[in-house]
Every structure is written in structure tokens, then in C-alpha cells.
A = this chain, B = another copy of it.
Amino acid sequence: MSLIETVDFDGGEILSLHQRILSDIREKILSGAWPPGHRIPFEHELTDEYNCSRMTVNKALSQLAKAGLIERRRRSGSFVGQPQSQAAVLELHDIRIEVEALGLPYRYERLERLKRRSIAEDRALLGLSAPGPVLALEGLHFAGERPFALEQRLINLSAVAEAAEEEFLDIAPGPWLIGRVPWSEAEHRIRAMAADDTVADTLDIDPGAPCLVVERRTWSAEHPVTHVRFVYPAESHTLVARFTPSQG
């Protein structure tokens, strides 16, 4: 028999001790068996219960604490936390993937491409303080024959110089940027908007029709990279977000 035991139980899943402690406690909390405020067993008690070292218990509890499920207090013990503010994780996929998930053929078409020195509006959208070259793009994502989303994008050419050479005729800027910009932070704004005449015409919907607007500002290493606005006709799109007390 090995020194490190793995336990085969229930569904036949193999869990490490660490994971078993984690899921046991999580289950107790999520089921309500241990309500908010309840003191969970001390580390040394769990050490006995699971017949393992304190380090193993400690790692599991620290993880639960980081996930916000429990709160740890020196000298007092660990307590089930109060359910915090609703925070949901929103997965924002590439539009190609969304369209193909619907079983429809995807196509991107460039409508406009303009290189210019940033005007005040560009700088506001990108969060730039000084003027510099930007690329303004407008394009349309199709699902089959129907417009699926309108994309209006600004790229900060000081941050992504190579973009100046790219035509973006039928490759969308999103996928192009991923892979070229290493890792980034982003801020998203989601709102509803009535289609103005131009947007309505482009998306082939009625003027004034409701649209879902998703705006994203992206930074890489503190430098503004891009600002993009996606406009979806209301019928074409629902964002789905999930909240599960972190599996952390």
C-alpha cells in the first residue's frame, strides 16, 4: 500500500485527501448543515477526523477562506461566512464561437478602417492621456445571412504597432489581437440601447429597436490597448453568467 492514500468512494471518483476535505466542508456549508456563523471544527479536530497532518487540513481551510466560504480568526477558530454579494462570472467568448455554437456559418466583414491621430473622443474611450496614432475599425459579424453583431473598435497603435499594417478585411480584430497582446486586464460595460438609424440600417433592424451593448476596454501592462463596442440586436443575444461559491 502506498504512503499517499487515495480514496475511491461514491461515484468512483478518486480524490486526494486535500480535495476530499474541501468538498466535505463545502457540501456542509452549501447544504445549510453548517449555517453562516457556525464554527467549523478546529484544525486539530479535522486532523483527527481525517487522520492526516495539520498541514493538509490547513491547506484545505486556507483555500476555503480565500474562496470566501469561511472566515478564519486566530485563537477563535474558523467560521462559516455570510453569503457575500452576488458575484457572477461572465464568459465572453469570441463571436465566431458563439455563432458556430448556434450551428450557423460565421462570417466577418469589414465596413470601415481609418488610421488617425487620436481625437479627444478616442482618448476618452481608450483612457489615453496623450495624443497618438489609433486605428478605428468598424465591422459586421454575420450568423448565416443575418447580421449578428456590429463591432466598433479602436486600437491604440502606440501599444500595438503591427495593427497599422493589417487590413482586417475578413479577419476580426478580436482574434487577431489575442495572441499578439500577451495578457491583459479588461473592463466591461453592459447596457441596453435603442438602435439609431445608422446602426439599425447596418444590423437590418428597425430604428429604435432595443440592442444589447457590450463595451470592453483592454489594458496590457498598464497600457491601453483597445476599446471595442459590440452591438447585438436584442433577439440575437443573451449573456449568461454563473455564480457558484468558488470551487477555489
Question: A-side interface residues toward B, CB under 8 Å?
Answer: 29-32, 35-36, 66, 69, 82-83, 85-94, 178-179, 181-194, 208-213, 216, 220-221, 232, 234, 237-245, 248
Contacts and interface: CB of A to CB of B under 8 A. Distances in A.
Given A191-B234, A192-B212, A234-B193, A83 B32 contact: no
Nearest to A211: B192
B190 A239 contact: yes
Contacts of A243: 185-188
A193 B190 CA distance: 13
* Copies of this chain, whole number: 2
Contacts of A232: 192
A189 B241 CA distance: 6
Contacts of A35: 182
B88 A220 contact: no
By secondary structure, the A interface counts as strand
Nearest to A243: B186
A102 to B, nearest CB: 15
8 contacts: A35-B182, A36-B182, A86-B91, A88-B186, A190-B212, A192-B193, A194-B210, A210-B211
The 6 closest A-B pairs by CB, nearest first: A210-B210, A192-B192, A192-B212, A32-B182, A192-B234, A86-B92
Contacts of A185: 30, 242-245
A247 B182 CA distance: 17
Nearest to A191: B238
A66 B208 contact: no
Which of A32, A191, A242 gathers the greatest number of chain B CB atoms within 10 Å?
Answer: A191
B242 A187 contact: yes
Which of A90, A94, A209 gathers the greatest number of chain B CB atoms within 10 Å?
Answer: A90
